[in-house]
Chains A and B, each alone.
Chain A
Amino acid sequence: MNRLKLINSWSSLLTRLIMLSVLWWVLSVGDSSSWWIGLPAVLIASGVSMRLQPVQSVNWIALLRFIPFFVWQSLVGGFGVATRAMHPALPLTPDLVEYPVTLPNEFARVVFIYMISLIPGSLCVAMHRDTLSIHILDSHSNFLAELGILEQKISTIFCIPQQPLSAV
């Protein structure tokens, strides 16, 4: 068990080193002479990141698959909200709903909250023990099903085994 943990944290450190190196490459716009400052900076940043953030395994393929879904949802949702805002009658039917969340760990839950808030039309307002209070602009829409799909995608990204819905 301990050994698995060790492997996990080493691979997590390696992932962070790679990601932050890519970030440095982007920042310096590919200038290779920058690395003698970049390398120590990447090492320090990775160290701080490891200190602050617990180890989290990520399914990178699921994450890549998530991007088009997110972009599409944003565009469709954004267009819906934009037409509402511009409509003379301001057709809003906002409501506050409780959503039972099944994601087990805190990091995944917070990422879920971020995604809810980023997709136009829904906004997370509070986080309780096992439920989220979500403010939605249009209470006639099919928001519960959409939130369910979103949650499922996030649990796949964070390698969380699916739980049957009855666990709620």
Chain B
Amino acid sequence: MMLADILTIILLLGGAFFFLAGTIGLLRFPDVYTRLHALTKADNVGLGLIVTGLAIQAQSWAAAGKLILIWLLVLLAGAGVSYLIANGALARGVAFWKR
């Protein structure tokens, strides 16, 4: 097995771990605001690791670039949407959870 393959495996497993964490957060966290944190985790870290893992296997620089582009687009959407939803929820008085 090549070094690149080992690296890919590690990155992909890491990505899957963060997706799992995102889902668990989505299910367990107590209010809209904390659940939005789960959203950015899967977007940002999980997909980032998976994309990097696959980019190592890519045939050309441009193909790797396309994978990175997909990641950046998801980041942009995730960041924008989580602000808009949080802001809307705040404006409509959705309650905070506090310990």
Checking B60, B83, B97 against A94 with a beta-carbon cut-off of 8 angstroms, the contacting residue is: B97
Q: How large is the interface on A (under 10, 10 to 19, 20 to 34, 35 or more residues)?
A: 35 or more
Q: Using an 8 Å CB-CB cutoff, how does the interface string of A106-147 with B read, 1 for contact, 0 for none?
A: 000000011101111101111100000101010000000000
Question: DSSP class of B's interface residues: helix, strand, loop or mixed?
Answer: helix
The size of the chain B interface, using a CB distance under 8 A, is 41
The chain B residues found within 8 Å of chain A, CB to CB, are 17-18, 21, 24-25, 28-31, 33-34, 36-38, 40-41, 43-45, 48, 60-63, 65-66, 69, 75-76, 78-80, 82-83, 86-87, 90, 96-99
> Which residue in A82, A113, A133 is a CB contact (below 8 Å) of B41?
A82
The 8 closest A-B pairs by CB, nearest first: A82-B21, A78-B45, A26-B65, A85-B25, A114-B79, A30-B62, A125-B86, A29-B62
Contact of B44 among A78, A86, A126, A135 (CB under 8 A): A78
